[in-house]
A = this chain, B = another copy of it.
Amino acid sequence: MNGDLQKSTDYDRLIKVFGVTPLSEEVLNKLPERHKLFEIGYFFAHRDFDKVLEGWERGEEFAILTGRGPSNVMHLGHMLLFDFVAWMQKTFKVPAYIPLSDDEKYVFLKVDSLREAAFYAYDNALDIAALGFDEKKTYFFISTKTPEIYEMSVELSTEVTLNEVKAVFGFTDSDNPGKYFYSVVQSAHILFPTVRKGYRSLVPIAIDQDPYIRLSRDIAERKKLPKPAALHSKYLPGLTGEPMSASKPETAIFLDDPPKVIKEKIWKALTGGQPTVKEQREKGGDPERCVVFKWLEAFVLDPKEAEEWKGRCRRGEVLCGECKKKLYEGIVRILKEHHERKLKLADKADKFFLHPVDWGEVDKVKEKTKRLLEQFNLS
C-alpha cells in the first residue's frame, strides 16, 4: 500500500484504536482489478474484506452498501466514495443498497424537519445514482419511509443494552432516546440485505464510522447472521487543508456549486508551491503537502499521469496556477456531465427506490439541477 493520502494523517494509530486490519497486498491481489482508490491508498484498512473476496471466488454473492445522512447537498468527497461503490457494483456484478438516514439527521439535530431531510435524500440519491449505478440492482431507501427498517430495528434492539451503546458511541444520559435507538436503526440498515436476501454486506465507510460497523457485527453474531464486512477509507483533505465540512463551505466543492464558486474556491486552495514564481522554478514545489495535487490525483488524473505531474512539480516545471486551472477545468467538466446525467435520471427515480417516490421532492431536485446546469453551459 502506498500513496500520498496515507502519509498526511495518523491512520496507523486509527488502525490500532479501532482494531481493524490493514489492507495488505495479499488481499488486494485477490481483486480482479484495482480501483484507483486502492492504488493511492485511499482505502487502507478492512474487516473481513478478504472473506468477502474469497466467498465471491466461490460464487457467493454479496451486497455493497453505503449509507448517506441527507442533511445537505453532497460534496466531492462523498462523490469519491460513491463512485467507488458504483465501480464495485460493476466489477463484482452485485446489488448495491444505499440507506438514506433522515431519522439520524433529525435526532442529531442536523435538520429542522424530516421533510427537509427528505428533500436532501432525493437530491443526494439522484447524485449518487448518476455516478453509474445499475437501476436493476440498486436499492435506495429513506429510513422513515421504509416500514421494514423500523420493524427490523425493533427486532435487533433486544440484542444490545444501553451500556453497550454508551461504550461504543460515548452518549450520555443527557442525550435523547432517538440517538440511542438510531444505533440499532443503523445496524438494521447494514443488515437489511442480509436479513431480507441472505447477502453478506460489504460497507465501504470512512474510518471514523467504524463503531457502527462493530455494533452491527456484534448484533449479527448474536442473531447468527453473517457479519457485515467493511472497507475503511481515509479522508480527502479539504481545499483549505482542514477536513471538508458543510459548515465551512470554502473547504469543499459542493455538488450545487456553480463554476464561478468552484473557480474561487480552487484559486484559494492550499498548495505545496513556493512563495514566488522564481522560487518555484528554482526549488520546485512539494506535491505531498499540496491539496490541489491530491485533488488532481483523486478526481482528474490517472495514477500514471499523477506520478508524472508530481515529478514536474518537484522539478519546478509547473506553477501552482497551472495545477489550479487543470483542477478547475477537470472538475467543471466532471460536474457538467454529472448534472446532465442526474437530470436525465430524475424521471425514473422510482426505479432506484424501495419505497414509493415523493415526486414533489424529485421535481424540486430537477428544477434545482436545471438552473445549475444553465450556469455550467454558460461557463
List the B side residues contacting A240 at CB < 8 Å.
Answer: none
Q: Does A326 contact B (CB under 8 A)?
A: no
Closest to A144 in B: B151
Q: Does A308 contact B (CB under 8 A)?
A: no
List the B side residues contacting A165 at CB < 8 Å.
Answer: 177
List the B side residues contacting A178 at CB < 8 Å.
Answer: 153-154, 157-158, 181, 184
Do the beta carbons of A157 and B107 come within 8 Å of each other? Answer: yes
Closest to A150 in B: B150
Given contacts A103-B154, A107-B154, A114-B154, whether A177 and B173 have CB atoms under 8 Å apart is no
Q: Does A145 contact B (CB under 8 A)?
A: yes
List the B side residues contacting A160 at CB < 8 Å.
Answer: 176-177
CB distance from A183 to the nearest CB of B (A): 7
List the B side residues contacting A155 at CB < 8 Å.
Answer: 106, 113-114
Chain B proximity mask over A167-200: 1 for CB below 8 Å, otherwise 0: 0000111111111110110000000000000000
Most interface-central of A113, A171, A179 (chain B CB within 10 A):
A179
Q: How far is the CA of A146 from the CA of B150 in the complex (A)?
A: 10
Q: Does A161 contact B (CB under 8 A)?
A: yes
CB distance from A159 to the nearest CB of B (A): 8
Chain B proximity mask over A136-167: 1 for CB below 8 Å, otherwise 0: 00000000111100110111011111110110
Given contacts A147-B147, A161-B174, A174-B163, whether A154 and B106 have CB atoms under 8 Å apart is yes
Closest to A157 in B: B178
List the B side residues contacting A162 at CB < 8 Å.
Answer: 162, 171-177, 180
List the B side residues contacting A153 at CB < 8 Å.
Answer: 178
Do the beta carbons of B144 and A157 come within 8 Å of each other? Answer: no
Q: Does A109 contact B (CB under 8 A)?
A: yes
Q: Which of these, B147, B163, B180, contacts A145 with CB under 8 Å?
A: B147
Q: How far is the CA of A377 from the CA of B153 in the complex (A)?
A: 45
CB distance from A222 to the nearest CB of B (A): 12
The 26 sampled A-B contact pairs (Cβ below 8 Å) are A103-B154, A106-B155, A106-B158, A107-B157, A107-B158, A114-B151, A144-B151, A157-B177, A157-B179, A158-B176, A159-B176, A160-B176, A161-B173, A161-B174, A162-B162, A163-B173, A166-B173, A177-B177, A177-B180, A177-B181, A177-B183, A177-B184, A178-B181, A180-B180, A180-B181, A181-B181
